[in-house]
Amino acid sequence: MDHWLKGQTTPPPSGGSFLERLRIARSNIKPSDPWTAPLRKIRGQIGHDGLERIATDAVFEHLDIPRLQRTPDAAKRLKGLMVTLGWVPVRSRHVTSRGRAARVRGYARMRG
């Protein structure tokens, strides 16, 4: 049977009234994540190679997530949403203002 509502996990029952089937279908819809809308608008820096990159900390700043709430669970939640929106998780080397090399986790995607 076709899934006639986006996000529906189970097909609507064939019997019953239309309103009953609609009520069941609505109860099966997953709520959208509140981070999704702001993440759709996020833009990174475009490098010489044409890749758009953004650091994970910059994404958390854009979402106004305090430092103490940037837990591994929050990072996993962010990763799932970013991958859904077409970003790829990356780790890159970055030279700090003190001249030291540091690893930076973030996301990249092709622009265009």
Domain boundaries defined on the chain = 1-31, 36-110
CA distance 111 to 104: 21
Residues 6+ apart with CB under 8 A from 21: 12, 13
Q: Tell me: the pLDDT tens digits for 11-34? A: 555 667 888 888 887 777 776 889
* pTM to 2 decimal places: 0.67
Per the listing, tokens 């833009």 go with 43
| Mean pLDDT over the full length of the chain | 84
Side by side, the strands of the sheet bearing 101-110 are 45-46, 51-55, 101-110, 88-95
Given this model, what pLDDT does residue 88 score? 96
Average pLDDT over residues 93-105: 80
Average pLDDT over residues 51-73: 95
